[in-house]
Amino acid sequence: MCYYLGKQDDCYELTILRGFRDNWLCRQTNGNSLIQEYYNYAPAIVDKLNLAPDKDSIYSEINRCIYKCLSLIREQQFEMAKEAYIYMVRVLVHKFLSK
């Protein structure tokens, strides 16, 4: 996502999301499995997404979801941020990997 938007690997968004992952999510009951799920699915989703004719609108929707998660993290609504992220990933898995 950040690569598509021309952002660096150490951009604000990734820094916040990594902190969330490393300091909160990994300590949750299913946190490590969610993190592993991301690493399993993300590369294939990005590959297929980049070939989609409507990729700009999909990336825009992903961007909105990420900023929603970032807002929830800043408000320390960690469980809600996790649920928003899970929903986004599941929608993308269904759209790009379920066929």
Any domain includes 6: no
- Determine the pLDDT at residue 9: 86
Number of domains in the chain: 1
Answer whether 4's CB lies under 8 Å from 51's CB: no
Any domain includes 2: no
Q: How far apart are CA 35 and CA 28, in angstroms?
A: 11
- Residue 63 structure tokens: 């961007």
Q: How far apart are CA 35 and CA 22, in angstroms?
A: 10
Provide the residue range defining the domain that includes 76. Answer: 12-97
Q: How far apart are CA 21 and CA 5, in angstroms?
A: 21
Any domain includes 55: yes
Q: What Rg do the C-alpha atoms of the chain give, in angstroms? A: 13
pTM of the predicted protein model = 0.88
Q: What is the pLDDT along the chain (99 residues), one digit of tens a residue?
A: 667 778 788 889 999 999 999 999 999 999 999 999 999 999 999 999 999 999 999 999 999 999 999 999 999 999 999 999 999 999 999 999 986
